[in-house]
């Protein structure tokens, strides 16, 4: 069977934060520094950090932290997706969590700050100097009950990354409008290729198309949709979110993602 080449990997233009937070000792016992790690007989100290497997950013941070704090070592416990969601949550609830844990901004899964804040599992980091470096938008998803509960160790974007050679082969160029996206899907399909890869096996990646669409349909500059939702004057069903979901289905019907995207890994999507 002929292998289909993917013209683009991912399609998203929103900021994502890689975030971690110090743990409190348990429910109702939030402290500024969280737990203190374990001390050795020679006065050395070991801290633990539960986070993503193979996290290069975490490795760089740990290396610098250990250099700045002689006698202190940090053991990084790498967790894969989606096990990271359940393991960190379970350890926090049982009081056996690492000194530092990787968490998500906002709410929506078991280890988001606004979910964990309900149990007082995270230390209040509000008086740290680095807090002033974040925008109000960033802080809005890093806080709960007025407390900053996470630190951003990195940030980045998930853009549309195109295979220029494959694009040239079918005589296409990166689209800038919705109609051009649909034309690209059709052009790719007619040439035995796939316009956009979708690594749905990697957890939240299946929502990337919708995020990209709503970035202009719903959350364009000046949008008050989030506040309108909070005020109860807007609903998802009555907003352009419906349009975004309809367009997502149109992309699917046009053959934009590869077949069986929910069973496609990142490695396969990149091929």
Instruction: Profile the chain (271 residues) by mean pLDDT over runs of 10 residues.
Output: 42 40 47 47 81 89 94 94 89 93 88 92 92 87 91 71 89 92 92 85 74 90 91 94 94 84 74 65
CA distances from 147 to 95, 139, 141 (A): 21, 9, 11
8 A C-beta contact, residue 4 and residue 85: no
- For 99, the token pair is 């000194």
Residue that is last in its domain, among 156, 179, 205: 156
- 85 and 112, same structural domain? yes
- 174 and 144, same structural domain? no
Q: In the prediction, which pLDDT does 119 show?
A: 92
Provide the residue count of the chain.
Answer: 271
- 247 and 128, same structural domain? no
8 A C-beta contact, residue 196 and residue 11: yes
- 138 and 177, same structural domain? no
8 A C-beta contact, residue 44 and residue 70: no
Q: In the prediction, which pLDDT does 14 show?
A: 32
- 180 and 217, same structural domain? yes
What is the pTM assigned to this prediction? 0.65
Q: In the prediction, which pLDDT does 143 show?
A: 92
- 65 and 142, same structural domain? yes
Residue 207 lies in a domain: yes
Closest CA to 99 of 144, 53, 57, 50: 50
Residue 166 lies in a domain: yes
Q: In the prediction, which pLDDT does 16 show?
A: 38
- 152 and 22, same structural domain? yes
Residue 6 lies in a domain: no
Whichever domain contains 32, its CATH number is 3.40.190.10
Which residue range(s) make up the domain with 27? 17-156
Residue 222 lies in a domain: yes
- 149 and 37, same structural domain? yes
Residue that is last in its domain, among 156, 178, 204: 156
Residue that is last in its domain, among 115, 141, 156: 156
What does DSSP assign to residue 205? G
Q: In the prediction, which pLDDT does 109 show?
A: 86
Residues ≥6 apart with Cβ < 8 Å to 171: 187
- 38 and 147, same structural domain? yes
- 215 and 141, same structural domain? no
Q: In the prediction, which pLDDT does 82 show?
A: 79
Residue 8 lies in a domain: no
Other C-beta atoms within 10 Å of 140: how many? 12
**Maximum Cα interatomic distance, the chain, rounded to a whole number of Å:** 69
Residue 9 lies in a domain: no
CA atoms of 213 and 245, how far apart (whole Å): 9
Q: In the prediction, which pLDDT does 233 show?
A: 96
Residue 30 lies in a domain: yes
The total number of structural domains in the chain stands at 2
Residue 3 lies in a domain: no
8 A C-beta contact, residue 200 and residue 263: yes
- 178 and 115, same structural domain? no
């Amino acid at each position: 069977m002929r292998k289909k080449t993917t013209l683009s990997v991912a399609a998203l233009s929103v900021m994502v934060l890689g975030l971690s937070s110090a743990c409190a000792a348990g429910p109702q016992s939030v402290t500024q520094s969280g737990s203190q790690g374990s001390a050795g007989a020679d006065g050395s100290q070991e801290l633990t950090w539960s986070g993503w497997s193979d996290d290069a950013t975490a490795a760089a941070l740990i290396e610098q932290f250990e250099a700045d704090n002689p006698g202190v070592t940090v053991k990084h416990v790498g967790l894969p997706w989606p096990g990271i969601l359940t393991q960190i949550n379970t350890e926090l609830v049982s009081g056996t969590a690492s000194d530092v844990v990787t968490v998500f901004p906002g709410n929506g899964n078991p280890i988001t700050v606004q979910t964990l804040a309900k149990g007082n599992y995270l230390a209040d980091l509000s008086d740290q100097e680095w807090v002033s470096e974040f925008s109000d938008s960033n802080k809005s998803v890093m806080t709960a009950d007025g407390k900053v509960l996470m630190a951003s160790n990195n940030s980045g974007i998930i853009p549309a990354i195109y295979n220029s050679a494959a694009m040239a082969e079918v005589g296409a160029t990166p689209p800038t409008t919705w109609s051009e996206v649909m034309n690209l899907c059709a052009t790719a399909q007619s040439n035995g290729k796939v316009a956009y890869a979708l690594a749905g096996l990697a957890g939240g990646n299946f929502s990337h198309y919708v995020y990209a669409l709503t970035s202009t349909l719903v959350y364009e500059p000046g949008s008050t949709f989030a506040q309108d939702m909070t005020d109860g004057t807007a609903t998802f069903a009555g907003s352009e979110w419906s349009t975004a979901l309809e367009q997502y289905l149109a992309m699917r019907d046009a053959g934009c993602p590869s077949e069986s995207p929910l069973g496609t890994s990142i490695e396969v999507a990149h091929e």
